[in-house]
A and B are shown apart, each in its own frame.
Chain A
Amino acid sequence: MGFFDSLKKGLEKTRKGFTEKIEQLIIGYAEIDDEFLDDLEALLLTADVGVPTTNRLMSDVRQGIKNRSINSPEDLRPFLKNRIREILTNDASLPSAAAGPQVMMIVGVNGVGKTTTIGKLSHYYKENGEKVLVAAGDTFRAAAIEQLEIWARRTGSELIKHTEGADPAAVAFDAVQAAKARKVDRLIIDTAGRLHTKSNLMEELKKIHRVIGREIPGAPHETLLVLDATTGQNAINQAKLFGEATNVTGVVLTKLDGTAKGGVVVAIKHELGLPVKWIGVGEGMNDLRPFQAEDFAEALFGDK
């Protein structure tokens, strides 16, 4: 098939093209011409930044050229990187920790890495000397409870579970009671993966959220939306609808150890103001990092 063959060559070119251009830039050969700007645009689009945010960034670049913040080709990349870092930087101060257990709720669509992230988070907080309790709020998916159980054992966290098919709000209720009674520092609640478009399942999530808030005022203190870096523009809808249902406070971007760049979080922060807090870089319990806007912006341009 001719189309497929020509495409393969094209893909090869895209992959090499930009780094070569950048190198040329550094040696000082290339000029900022339209072709260069097109390549820059392509780079943003192929990183899943999305059309509107890419357009926004490109017009910033053009503005920068006009008002002389960009004077030479070498200024271009730092300028754009800076812009992206600015967008991604989280200025909201952390909510001051109230007394009693800190409650975290983990939400997201199917298979993004919620349960694994809970394993990693509990490991992180345990290392910080906290007493951690996890709650098996995914009572729907086959063996989801067992999966969390294994993670709890690995990290030495306590676990609250019911059986498959139980009401997840009841699990959350029990977990909150246990968290208070056992005086744990942190409770992390798993939820079943669900598509944000299924209104009954989103209602269920709201209910869990409500139950937690009734038992501990101000809880959950964090509701983290887990996003898979491989996901494209649909992540924006996910962020919107999960945000509406549960007042999401931050994003965990998983699977950044692959080749996907996760650029859609730039759009999510830009459009919805929702910050990324953690990144997942593997399947082990140490593979979680606090999000660094600077590094992320850098990686968006680099080859992995």
Chain B
Amino acid sequence: MVFEGLSEKLQQTFKKLRGKGKLSETDVTEALRDVRLALLEADVNFRVVKDFIARVKERAIGQEVLQSLTPAQHVIKIVHDELTTLMGATQSRITVSSRPPTIIMLVGLQGAGKTTTAGKLANLLKRQGKRPLLVAADVYRPAAIKQLQVLGEKLEIPVYVQEDNKNPVQIAKAAADYALSHARDTVIIDTAGRLHINEELMAELRNIKQTVKPHEILFVADAMTGQDAVTVAETFNNELGLDGVILTKLDGDARGGAALSIRAVTGRPIKFAGMGEKLDALEPFHPDRMASRILGMGDVMSLIEKAQNSIDLEQAKEMERKLRKEDFTLDDFLEQLRQVRKLGPLDQILGMIPGMGSLQKKLQGAEFDEKELKRTEAIICSMTKKERRDPSIINGSRRKRIAIGSGTRVQDVNRLLKQFVEARKMMKRLQEMQKSGKKPSGFKLPFMH
């Protein structure tokens, strides 16, 4: 297929680009030619590609090539970074109104996946302790209302319906009132799919917006969308002022260049990704993964990873030294946590430490729990210098003081101290293993699920 040819070409381009020093214009241009193709193949809009390439070129020329990277790898790294930045931060939060109900409105083209997404979103919010109300405002497509009702039944979430009313504006308004009187704190309005050039139907959306004043207007878009994504997203954004985007059908093999196109023309964050037909298949959107996916080619990605690894290696080595330090104190523990947070996924970091391969597998996909991390940080910061150096002196009354100081409970302090002892034990074991060549067994740090 096309891609194989493309990656081969990239490899050849890379072969030509050896040597160190500053990135020359030729280096950059050559490498970017292939990147341009990759982006176009991924359905990133032609204009977006053009501007993106120009931007990367400007940034890359004259840059000092990082040690351990070839110039081409360095260019790809810049491309990947830039792509990730453009894609925005992970931002899968829904604005919550201080005065309930919070009103969310889903809009988009026909067949994008709005109704299923409405169900998934309601499900997600319900799990977060919300009391959602689904609103069937698609009065056009045959059986669209019934579809939402079936989903609501499955999820045990009420669905607001007015069988005989063909006016979505009235339905939305009535639903908002209903939510208020029935203590539903979140309203999710499923609107009919429509073409962005259909004036009448776009006016209807504006009317709904004016009438119920949604806190979030989310644009639902199919990940398989091609070049037209820019036109569609731009129009919806101009007409309605979008707050965010949900990308659907990412469980397929589409490279998903539309994500970049939509981001580029709307500037709005992509909040969630639909990953399947099941009602729990809605995930937070990960900009970096999307960047890799759009670039697509496996070998290019491994190149980037290699590049990334070699950059982090220095830091990893530093951490390894810390990890193995004899006098491992709570200060180090805290330092270690911060380092880990900075470095990213723990499994990858461990992968860089010799002899930790099997542990790395166990930790695959382990995510940091930011909240837990913050709490740990707060607890340690509430200790005196002396306590941090020698935790054995932390008795009952000290524990109480630390808990109050850090806004946590005594149980949390206890747990942390226990984990610290475990971590210290593990350090020891690590060192012994290093000597005897044995494999480490499972352990868990407090901030991992």
Contact = CB atoms under 8 A, between A and B. Distances in A.
Contacts of A28: none
A26 interface: no
Nearest to B279: A142
B254 interface: yes
Interface stretch (A42-50, A97-105, A167-175, A217-225): A42-50
A195 interface: yes
B249 interface: yes
A164 B265 CA distance: 40
B37 A3 contact: no
A283 B110 contact: yes
A94 interface: no
A16 to B, nearest CB: 12
A10 B227 contact: no
Interface string B190-227: 00000111000000000000000000000000101111
Interface in B421-437: none
B226 A230 contact: yes
Nearest to B146: A143
A42 B48 CA distance: 12
A3 B225 contact: no
Contacts of B48: 7
B249 A147 contact: no
Given A11-B234, A234-B254, A259-B197, A146 B143 contact: yes
B443 interface: no
B232 A11 contact: no
B147 A143 contact: yes
Contacts of B351: none
Given A111-B222, A142-B147, A146-B146, A237 B51 contact: no
A233 B143 contact: no
A265 to B, nearest CB: 12
A232 B227 CA distance: 7
Nearest to A15: B231
A232 B43 contact: yes
A51 interface: yes
A197 B276 CA distance: 12
Given A3-B51, A7-B265, A258-B197, A230 B109 contact: yes
A237 B253 contact: yes
Contacts of B143: 143-144, 146-147, 149-150
Contacts of A197: 251-253
Contacts of A258: 109, 195-197, 228, 232
29 contacts: A4-B265, A8-B234, A11-B45, A11-B265, A42-B46, A46-B45, A46-B46, A48-B43, A109-B224, A109-B252, A110-B277, A141-B277, A143-B143, A143-B146, A143-B150, A147-B141, A228-B224, A230-B229, A232-B224, A233-B41, A233-B226, A233-B255, A234-B254, A258-B197, A259-B196, A259-B228, A259-B232, A260-B227, A283-B141
